[in-house]
Amino acid sequence: MNAAVPRRRAAGWWYPWIFVGGMLFVIAVNMVLVAAAIGTFPGLETADHYRKGLAYNTNLAAARAQSERGWQAAIVFDADASAALSGRHAGALSVRFVDRNGAPLDGLAVSALMTRPAKAGYDLEVPLASVGGGLYRAEVSLPLPGHWQARILAAASGDRFQTTQRIFVP
């Protein structure tokens, strides 16, 4: 009786399995990324994108005119600590306007468009009142804490100015 000799596998028999394992890894990573992309999309999109695209050159000309005018704005948001303790999200929004020579700009119609960068439906416009000396101020109460985009819009006798700044509301 001859004893059965076990068959040896050929050298490198497992090499094709490296390719299969690599492809499975790539597919698994892609599935995780797809799930993250679908699960985190906030659904925000630009409203009226076609007309905004058509107005691109007009907007560039307005930006050049604003730059030539030389107006500057300093935006400050002072959070109300007592409001934060009571669960409200409020504070004072102040904007100081000066011309290119540093002289204060009075007589402007100023408003702030407060937008939530990550969540639609909470935007609000706040008019700012002149305090004097180029300072405009308003008390602001926001529905949610976190980061907000303050777009400041100012106008006087046909001249327009706009700037934006991200603020944090506790």
pLDDT for 7: 83
DSSP-assigned letters across all residues of 41-81 = ------TTHHHHHHTHHHHHHHHHHHHHHT-EEEEEEEE-H
pLDDT for 83: 66
Q: Could you tell me where the beta strands, DSSP code E, fall in the chain?
A: 72-79, 89-98, 109-115, 124-132, 135-142, 146-156, 159-169
**Mean pLDDT for each 10-residue chunk of the chain (170 residues)?**
75 92 98 91 76 89 92 92 71 94 94 88 93 95 90 92 91
pLDDT for 136: 97
Q: What is the pTM of this model?
A: 0.67
Task: Label the pairing between strands 72-79 and 159-169.
Answer: unpaired
1: three-class secondary structure by DSSP = coil
All structural domains of the chain: 71-169 (2.60.40.1930)
Q: Which residue type occupies 49? A: H
pLDDT for 51: 87
Best CA proximity match to 110, nearest among 73, 147, 83: 73
By the 10 Å C-beta count (0-12 exposed, 13-18 middle, 19+ buried), 108 is classed as buried
Rounded CA gap, 163 and 94, in Å? 13
Asked if residue 125 lies in contact with residue 142, where contact means CB atoms within 8 angstroms, the answer is no
Token pair recorded at residue 169: 């509301």
